[in-house]
Structure 1
Amino acid sequence: MNTVDISSLSHQALWITFFVTVLLGAIMQRTNFCTMGAIADLFVMSDLSRLRQWSLAIGVAILGVTLFSTAGLIDTSKSIYTSSKLMYLSILVGSTLFGMGMVMASGCGSKTLVRIGGGNLKSLVVFLVLGLVAYMTLRGFLGVIRINTLDAFFITLNTNQDLPSIVAEELSQPRTNVHILLGLIIGGAFILFALLNKSFWTIKNLLAGFGVGLAICAVWWISGYLAFVAEDPNTLEEVFLVTNSGKMESLSFVAPYAYSLDWLMFYSDTSKVLTIGIVAVLGMVCGSAIVALLTKTFRWESFVNAEDMANHMIGGALMGFGGIAALGCTIGQGLSGISTLAIGSFLAIPGFFLGAYLGLRYLQMRLAPNPCA
């Protein structure tokens, strides 16, 4: 394959990612898919509807990745989630901080983009703070702190940290067979939880679950198959085109915030190129804006007072640091990561729930009347 082919392939991958994420942003705007909202509904109103949406999306993503992997279309061992190094403390602390942050900021990274598309100026501030703190946690002084503290605690496994690899190693069975079995069982369990309640069977809920899950699968296919080159003519090594990590990626909305700001600020630097993550950020906003305008729900919204602004800025900062430490957000770890059946992703989900609960308790205390007043 020559350089022109690689360039063409990169552009093709970026355009397809853009269209996929435009559809995803439109679906999230139309169906009100929101991980933070799902957890808040559970704790505050004991309503499982949006949690079932998330569960259905997880199940669909797991089954899709299992199908792609066993068919040889993608190799999950080459993703950022499945390395043999399990940084358990970073993931647990990071996911908890992220969970707190998404409550204070009125939504996670994906919801922030959807809200921006709907005219929410508060979310625009969250985007800027989250992206800045995420960049500092990747490459700045917060990164040094993270590496010397949280990242110093890890377990190195004998195999990749995804369940199929671990179980196959323990049972001395072919990994492909184990992956099919675990994918069907775990993915099926998530889908069963979602569909078991007949009241969940509405067009809105099914569109949210299947739409989001299939979008995760689509981007895995784009980065892991379409934009994968087995032998780069320049280096003679395999390469995953248009990814920031240099590995196979799917959707996540923390590090791509940082890379988006970096690309915008240093646009004239030819080394700064568009990637799947950056294009996905733009696609999400565009998709949400299209639906908001067509349904006449677009409206400008700003902060109520200084405390509202402070909460959103603190929330954005917590998500920026926590999302990088945890190797992903509720979409990154909570959907993309868990679709690979990575142990780290299963550790992150309880952290998101714990952090969201703590964030909700904090806001409830702030809203409670002061008996001494």
Structure 2
Amino acid sequence: RVGGGDLRSLLIVLVMGISAYITLGGPLSGLRIWTFGASEDAIDTQSFAHLFADMTGYSIAGSGISIGVFILALTLSNRTMRLSFSHVFWGAIAGGAIVSGWAGTQWVASTGFEAIPIVSHTFSAPIGETVLYAMTSSGNTISFGTGSVLGVVLGALIGSLLKGQFRWESCDDPRELRRQILGAALMGIGAVVA
């Protein structure tokens, strides 16, 4: 909705990103560290595939594929979802974008000259990164997360303009705005802490 001209969504996204970044490395980072303190016996990996493989004895790849097939079957068990071509199509596009993020950053990490993390699309911390990049771009390099956020917003803007659906919207009620700001701050904190 940010790309469609909704200023409420813009404010929510900015507050969420800033509060996530504050929780990652700012004044609220103590909350994150206190909630999830580092332990001596911490495991190296934290994915569901690794957890499932440890619990069942399957291979990690087999566990990941099994989890993916289960989620796909669960999604397609809904009749409304199965019969809606646009839902299935755009779901496949979103899934492909996530996988291409991992594949692309893995390829750059293995063939590039610099070490980069293998990541895919996530939006809480990258929104904060994007705000920071907007303020300090001369002393910072663009990251995958920043590019993702900018790409999604620009794609939504282009889509809303092409469909003729772009229109400026704002908050009508100060109480509604207050609730939205508080909710956005809690979403940013929760996205990092959870």
Residues 1:239 and 2:85 are matched in the alignment: no
**1: CA distance, partners of 2:18 / 2:44:** 35
Q: Secondary structure at the match of 1:182?
A: helix
The structure, 1 or 2, with the larger RCO (C-alpha pairs under 8 Å, 6+ apart) is: 2
Is the Cα contact below 8 Å between 2:53 and 2:63 reproduced in 1?
no
Counterpart-to-counterpart distance in 2, 1:305 and 1:142: 29
Which residue matches 1:17? Answer: none
Change (3 A) 1:157 1:196: same
Residue 169 and residue 192 in structure 1: after superposition, are their counterparts in 2 closer, same or farther (change >3 A)? closer
- With over 3 angstroms needed to count, the CA separation of the structure-2 counterparts of 1:320 and 1:162, relative to structure 1, is closer
Map 1:290-305 → 2, pairs under 5 A: 290-305=158-173
Q: How big is the shift at 1:157?
A: 4.6
Q: TM-score, normalised by structure 2?
A: 0.87
**Which of residues 49, 58, 67 in structure 2 aligns to 1:186?**
67
- Provide the C-alpha distance between the structure 2 equivalents of 1:289 and 1:158, rounded to a whole number of angstroms: 42
Q: Give the Cα separation in 2 of the matches to 1:224 and 1:209.
A: 23
What do residues 246-291 of structure 1 show as CA deviations (whole Å, max 9, x unaligned)?
x21100001111111111111232xx11011001111101111111
Alpha-carbon distance, 1:169 to partner: 5.2
Distance 1:190 1:170 in 2: 19
Conserved 8 A contact 2:20-2:189: yes
The equivalent position to 1:204 in structure 2, one of 86, 107, 130, is: 86
Q: Which amino acid aligns with 1:249?
A: V
For residues 321 and 137 of structure 1, what CA distance do their matches in structure 2 show?
A: 6
Q: How does 1:20-31 map onto structure 2 within 5 Å? A: none
On the 8 A contact 1:254/1:324 being kept in 2, the answer is yes
Aligned to 1:275: 143
Separation (CA, whole Å) in 1 of partners of 2:90 and 2:172: 30
1:143 matched residue in structure 2: 29
Q: Percent identity?
A: 30
In 2: Cα distance, 1:267 partner to 1:231 partner: 22
Instruction: Identify the match of residue 312 of structure 1 among 165, 177, 180.
Output: 180
Distance 1:214 1:303, change over 3 A: same
- What value does the CA root-mean-square deviation take over the aligned residues? 2.4
Q: Kindly state the Cα deviation for residue 152 of structure 1 after the two structures are TM-superposed.
A: 2.6
Is 1:322 the equivalent of 2:193? no
Counterpart code for 1:265: M
Does the 8 A contact of 1:121 with 1:302 survive in 2? Answer: yes
Note if contact 1:118-1:298 (Cα within 8 Å) is conserved in structure 2.
yes
Equivalent of 1:130 in 16, 23, 28: 16
1:265 equivalent in structure 2 = 135
Q: Secondary structure at the match of 2:28?
A: helix
Count of matched residue positions in the alignment of Structure 1 and Structure 2: 193
The question of whether the paired residues in 1 share the 8 Å contact of 2:32 and 2:193 is answered with yes
1:159–1:165: 8 Å Cα contact kept in structure 2? no
Q: What do residues 123-181 of structure 1 show as CA deviations (whole Å, max 9, x unaligned)?
A: 1111221222222212211112332x21237683555333444455567x6xxx61343
Cα distance in 1 between the residues matched to 2:74 and 2:109: 35
Q: Secondary structure at the match of 2:17?
A: helix
2:137 is the alignment partner of 1:252: no
Q: Is the 8 A contact 2:16 2:187 kept in 1?
A: yes
Query: Is 1:160 the counterpart of 2:45 in the alignment?
Result: yes
